Structure formats: C-alpha cells, structure tokens
Chains A and B, each alone.
Chain A
C-alpha cells in the first residue's frame, strides 16, 4: 500500500468514554470502552449475528456465526481499541480502531434497530476520544462512495479524503501531533492536552 494522506491540522479533542446520552428515540444510551469482558464479546456476536446483510460494507461484518467470531477475535485483540454503545444490556453499535503500521484503521457499525437516532455520531466521537487518550495519532478508513450518510458523518468529525481514485473513498484524520507529544512541557504552563 502506498503512503496514506492525513490532514495537516490536528483534530479537536474528543470526549473519552464512558459517556451517556438520550438518543432521538428517547432511549438512554451509554458509550463504554470494551475491556476484554467475555459477556460483552458474546453480546457483540449477537449484534452482528442479527445484522442486516444489506448494511455490510467491503465484506464486513461477515455472515454466519463462525466467521463473525473469527473476525471479532481479530478486532477485539489487545492491540485494538473498541467502544460499544449500550442500550440497557443490548449492544446498539460498535466502533473499532485496528492497528496498521503507525496508524489505525477505523470501522463503525450501528445495528438497524438503532440507526438514524444520532448514535453513530456519539459512538465515533467516543472511539476517537478513547484513541486520543491512548496516544493514537493517525486514523484512516475506507467508505463506499454512495454511502452519503457515512461520508458526511466522517467529514463532520474532521476526516479528509486522501484517495478518491478507486471504488471506495479513503479518508484520514490526525488525532494528535506527529512530533514527540509525549514529552511533558518543562514548565507545565501549557496543559492543552
């Protein structure tokens, strides 16, 4: 793969989860990081097992429990960052950052029963807040061109198109500056981060 492009400007600060809100259907929803809990893992299997195949994109989520489990085992690994949108004990949505060299690939899914209620925006902001808090610097994704709702969500968040040459659009976001941002300022005057 060739070098991916990212905006020069660093994105806003996103709120690290847990966060809670009421969606447009008056449901109480909470965004929480996935912390390797087996019950949460099983809840995600259930969410994807009932996921509408019409909402698949570029082969994910895969179909059938066996493939769903293989895929989740890979993206819920310790080196990935995951957040889940909970409505009671049901998973309404899930978003993930999977390592790819010095960057992370992003994907987000909202179950059909919970779409068009504003959950996606909270979910992606929660994921990016979780990533920022853990030192993630660059995030990229691909999205099918016709998926206007997703493209406008990503643009609103601050993603910029980095490759428009193929079937899918590739977009990038800079979450933290590239330089040695880990060094604390000597005088501590600038507590920006």
Chain B
C-alpha cells in the first residue's frame, strides 16, 4: 500500500513513525515520511528528519523522508491527493496529566479533509 506518514516531532508522532516503519517492513508498503511543521513540538524539523532517517535505516526499508513546509494539515492532504497515496498515518493524540486524550489540530484537519483512510496510532 502507498502510505504517507506525517510527523512533526511530538511524542505521539514518533510513536506513529516507529509503528509505520515496522509495519512497512512486514507489509512491504511504499512508504513516504513527511516531516511537517508543528508549532507545539519542541523538536526542530532537522532533528525530526534525522530520527526518521535513522528509523528507516534501522528497519532496512526503502522509504523516502521528505521535509514538508507550510500548513501541515493541508499540505498532507494535498500530497496524498496529488501523489495518489492510499492512507495517511498520524500520531494518535496527546495525553494530558489526567490521562485524557486530545487529538492535535493537524490530525483534526486531516481527519475531516482527507479523501484517503486515516490511521491514528495509539
């Protein structure tokens, strides 16, 4: 399957990265990892790219890591549409001190606007 994994440096995005890479190795997915801007993230995009490349190398798969600038949600939806991706994978949300799950604004936008299936990784 042609999979687009969007990550911006939040904890849940790194969890999504690890699972998607792991799954791509087993399922032989055609995977692209898009490193997007996320204002809520404390990790710089360059470092996010490094971590994504390291995960891909470690899994021994052939996946593209791409830096995507601009509004993260709309860019992901646009890339999925123009390049015929079949699925978008994102982090499954932030957990508050109380244990409440809140879905990030990027996931919210993609869920409501994507024409592909969307997977949120928990």
Residues of A within 8 A of B (CB): 1-2, 57-60, 62, 71, 74-75, 96, 98-100, 105-107, 142, 165-168
Contacts and interface: CB of A to CB of B under 8 A. Distances in A.
B44 interface: no
B97 A100 contact: yes
Contacts of B108: 166-167
Interface of B: 40, 94-103, 105, 108
Contacts of A142: 96, 100, 102
A75 to B, nearest CB: 7
23 contacts: A1-B94, A2-B40, A57-B100, A58-B100, A58-B101, A58-B102, A59-B100, A59-B101, A60-B98, A71-B99, A75-B98, A75-B99, A100-B96, A105-B100, A107-B100, A142-B100, A165-B105, A166-B103, A166-B105, A166-B108, A167-B103, A167-B108, A168-B102
Given A166-B103, A166-B105, A167-B108, A98 B97 contact: yes
Q: Which 9 A-B pairs have the closest CB atoms?
A: A58-B100, A59-B101, A100-B97, A105-B98, A98-B97, A98-B98, A60-B99, A58-B101, A105-B97
A107 B98 contact: yes
Given A59-B99, A98-B97, 18 more contacts: A59-B95, A59-B100, A59-B101, A60-B99, A60-B100, A71-B99, A96-B98, A100-B96, A105-B97, A106-B98, A142-B100, A142-B102, A165-B105, A166-B102, A166-B103, A166-B105, A166-B108, A167-B108
